[in-house]
Amino acid sequence: MTKLENLLKGLVKENPLFVSVLGMCPSLAVTTSLENALGMGIGVLFVLVLSNFMVSLIMSSPKLAELVKPVRIPVYIVIIATLVSVVEMLMHAFLIDLYNALGVFIPLIVVNCIILGRAEAFASANKPVDSVLDGIGMALGFTAAISLISIFREFLGKGTITIWGDAVLNLKFFFNFLNIEPISMFVQPVGAFLSFGLILATLTAFGNFFKERKARKVKANG
């Protein structure tokens, strides 16, 4: 597998959220505004890249790998938990609003299946450089996916899109045009399940459509 493939596969082909359906809890909870989703994405990017790097560094030295193998899951968890604590403290120091908005979901990055999953499935068997690229790709894929959900939810629920801090896109005119209020249900827990379900179904429908077209093309070419 080339380096570029390692980087790009996380974005679409093996998207952690929409294809593997991992890391559901934060993606449902923090998608009430685009800002929160991006903040979560940055946290996951930091943790995933560094944990992939450290795990592959440990596992690529034969002596250490042999030592670590029987207790590798606890070792991974300690590495991840340490990185998450770093993220938590950094956010508390520099991005206090985001820290309050994400709340308990920052420490919960520890149990995000994507991170442990990549450590076990990819980083433990690949070189550090490839693992870092894989981490970047996966984290960006995750960020893109939760951003998509949060844009959908925030637009329908509040009529705005908060990019970062005061940079707010006001799209209320759309609702004024239709002469209705924004549908606040979408920023409530109900909306999380509903939006995720609808988006996932839409993407599945697209996927099926392309698959069928490809199959038909192959058939036509005989």
What is the binding site for other proteins (CB under 8 A)?
A: 21, 24-26, 28-29, 73-74, 77-78, 81-82, 84-85, 88-89, 103-104, 107-108, 110-113, 116, 188-194, 196-198, 200-202, 204-205, 208
Nearer to other proteins, 205 or 220 (CB): 205
Residue linked to tokens 């109900």: 190
* CA nearest to 146, candidates 196, 110, 191: 196
d(CA 29, CA 112): 13
CB of 128 to other proteins, least distance (A): 24
CB of 175 to other proteins, least distance (A): 22
d(CA 199, CA 186): 13
CB of 70 to other proteins, least distance (A): 13
CB of 102 to other proteins, least distance (A): 12
Nearer to other proteins, 170 or 204 (CB): 204
Nearer to other proteins, 7 or 44 (CB): 44
d(CA 85, CA 185): 33
Nearer to other proteins, 93 or 178 (CB): 93
For every residue of 150-205, DSSP letters joined together read HHHHHHHHHSEEEEETTEEEE-HHHHHHHT----GGGGSHHHHHHHHHHHHHHHHH
